Amino acid sequence: MSAKTYPVLKSAKNRTLMDNDTYQKWYRESVENPERFWDKHGMRIDWFKPYTKVKNTSFTGKVPIKWYEDGITNVSYNCIDRHLKAHGDDVAIIWEGDNPYIDKKITYNELYEHVCRMANVMKKHGVKKGDRVTIYMPMIPEAAYAMLACSRIGAVHSVVFGGFSPDALAGRIVDCESTFVITCDEGVRGGKPIPLKENTDTAIDIAAKNHVIVNKVLVVRRTGGKIGWAPGRDIWHHQEVLTVPRDCPPAKMKAEDPLFILYTSGSTGKPKGVLHTTGGYLVYASMTHKYVFDYQDGDVYWCTADVGWVTGHSYIVYGPLANRATTLMFEGIPNFPDAGRFWEVVDKHKVNIFYTAPTAIRALMGAGDEFVKRSSRSSVRLLGSVGEPINPEAWEWYYNVVGEGRSPIVDTWWQTETGAALITPLPGATDLKPGSATRPFFGVQPQLVDNEGKVLEGVADGNLCIIDSWPGQARTVYGDHKRFVETYFSTYKGKYFTGDGCRRDEDGYYWITGRVDDVLNISGHRLGTAEIESALVSHHLVSEAAVVGYPHSLKGQGIYCYVSLMAGEEGTEALRQDLVKHVRREIGPIATPDKIQFAPGLPKTRSGKIMRRILRKIAEDDFGSLGDTSTLADPGVVDDLIANRQNKA
Ligand code: WTA
């Protein structure tokens, strides 16, 4: 990895919110006296009733995590109402359609009305505080309205990425027993329609078989395409909003009342419903948004994520709007109509802060510099990266070609569970090293441990833990607190274990090396190998499957599947295609297998455990160093696996 250091860069305005001395001072206070630090910064949001208790957290026992517990507030009030008096006509959301000729701007005043009306529609149809509402939407402003409307009335939203299949959507509806769904007729991406309503209909049927009955589906009209309609259950958004008042008082929410559930993959079992709460989450999301992105009044800020992921929650909707930012929502994809789209949009809307994922950067780098160079990008003063480790080559390209050496890159490391960024440079304060997420944000105490849990000091390579709570941390797994404690706090007692490997260098900088568990990171999307395996074995010809990741030049990691078939079945090309289709249907296109190897046997220990280490090596075409295979029940299977590997150099 490159150790080249880039100096602190000032913004184009030649003024940043942070400098290194202030960072050091604040960081020291934040870990030496977290109570005082977070007491002060908790006041960055408005409280109907201010808190008197700040931090009440423990990483042992039942792992109770409470921040600002006696404070009363409301997230949508903080993201909208409090800005209206002086800034109601400022632009809250710039929406850029998939079609480059379509866009619109929504002011804070307009946002207020849209959100209140949608909240009133939900109330009219019986949604109450604490109810779970599933949002299955494309990247249109109504997705943000829906989230904010939930928070306005105290309903708990569960946003499901529009690229997930009906099966995946159904699983998420059932898990949190959500009886109200918000969707749209069709999404549009890259000029192609996505049948969201049709998928929703299918998902609702599957959910009903699992005893969860969806009563109402609020349908936003996006394309006007033909869709099925269940009278009495389905209601049109554009009709309903006209039947309700334009004001809706914000519900008084306790700081620890749930705000949202977001399903994410782990190493075992079904995706977990990670639960975030109200007060601490908003304090932390908005504070990181301000300092990590150096957000200053009037800046146009663009995060290219989808609201279906945590990045979209914290850094398209909640963080920016709480800071009264102008946040850009993009419906499309980076290469439609061509690979210059991002930079065209940057010029069109004079974007100052641009935040995207390494997988997009690598793809655009591959398309060639001409696409970048035909734009000016002169408005840009800060670039960001998130989702997976950024390889130094992509970092350099992003910095030099896109940023023309003018804009710092904030490589932000975080997770669905952390709510917002934990390890990241701060513009104006942090020297950059390509590929390193650099230093912890305020209040964050990283620690590296070896596999036995021994704490590693100084320069080291180990498993990344965080040893004390921060306000944006997830509080539980919805409906399964035991799983929360077991997954995150039992591997290393008393510490939050991230599942990531990490190196700390001589300057105390952190370099995330990727997951050390059975979670894959495909184009910045988290997928559990267990989920893909269970999709594969649900195919009637498959008897067993094991899935591993391998390095992929564009996606970061690719999906490599070893599949054993039912006795007498033959692994044909047609079956391979069918399995690919099957997995896409079960989970969604993001889980599309890259390689499928038919394997008569999988390498197992005598106790029947699949030795993934061996499968990973073979998938990486690195079978010279398989290590000890003598403990295998049948060492012979390895030769066949090697001979038939799909990644031959
Ligand atoms: C990976 C996304 C290296 C990491 C916000 C983490 C990163 C997982 C970075 C969480 C980064 C995210 N550098 N790796 N800057 N950001 N990751 O929950 O493995 O979708 O555990 O949250 O992505 O993915 P999630």
CA distances from 308 to 50, 252, 304 (A): 32, 26, 12
Q: Cα(129) to centroid of ligand 1, in Å? A: 32
Strand partners, 196: none
User: Residues 446-478: pLDDT tens digits?
Assistant: 999 999 999 999 999 999 999 999 999 999 999
Confidence of residue 1 (pLDDT cuts 50, 70, 90): very low
Q: Whose CA is nearest to atom 13 of ligand 1?
A: 389
Confidence of residue 3 (pLDDT cuts 50, 70, 90): low
Give the mutation target among 261, 414, 417 for probing the ligand 1 site: most ligand atoms within 8 A of CB: 414
Q: Considering all CA atoms of the chain, what is the largest pairwise distance in Å, rounded to the nearest integer?
A: 74
Neighbours of 508 (CB within 10 A): 12
Output phi, psi for 521, to 5 deg. Answer: -125, 100
Q: How many helices (H) and strands (E) does the chain have?
A: 21, 31
User: Residues 199-255: pLDDT tens digits?
Assistant: 999 999 999 999 999 999 999 999 999 999 999 999 999 999 999 999 999 999 999
Does pLDDT of 494 surpass 60?
Answer: yes
Contact 535, 586 (CB under 8 A): yes
Q: Cα(413) to centroid of ligand 1, in Å? A: 6
The whole model's pTM is what? 0.96
Q: Is 512 in the pocket of ligand 1 (CB under 6 A)?
A: yes
* The pLDDT of residue 13: 66
Residue 352 token pair: 């100052």
Average pLDDT, the chain: 96
Q: Whose CA is nearest to atom 10 of ligand 1?
A: 415
Q: Is 413 in the pocket of ligand 1 (CB under 6 A)?
A: yes
User: Residues 166-179: pLDDT tens digits?
Assistant: 999 999 999 999 99
Q: Is 386 in the pocket of ligand 1 (CB under 6 A)?
A: yes
Percent over 70 (pLDDT), the chain: 99
Output phi, psi for 645, to 5 deg. Answer: -60, 150
Question: Rg of the chain over CA atoms, in angstroms?
Answer: 24
User: Residues 119-156: pLDDT tens digits?
Assistant: 999 999 999 999 999 999 999 999 999 999 999 999 99
In ligand 1, the atom with minimum distance to the C-alpha of 519 is 19
Neighbours of 563 (CB within 10 A): 25
Q: Is 388 in the pocket of ligand 1 (CB under 6 A)?
A: yes
Give CA–CA dist 611/531, Å, rounded.
18
Contact 182, 150 (CB under 8 A): no
* The pLDDT of residue 12: 60
ipTM for the assembly: 0.99
Residue 308 token pair: 């279906």
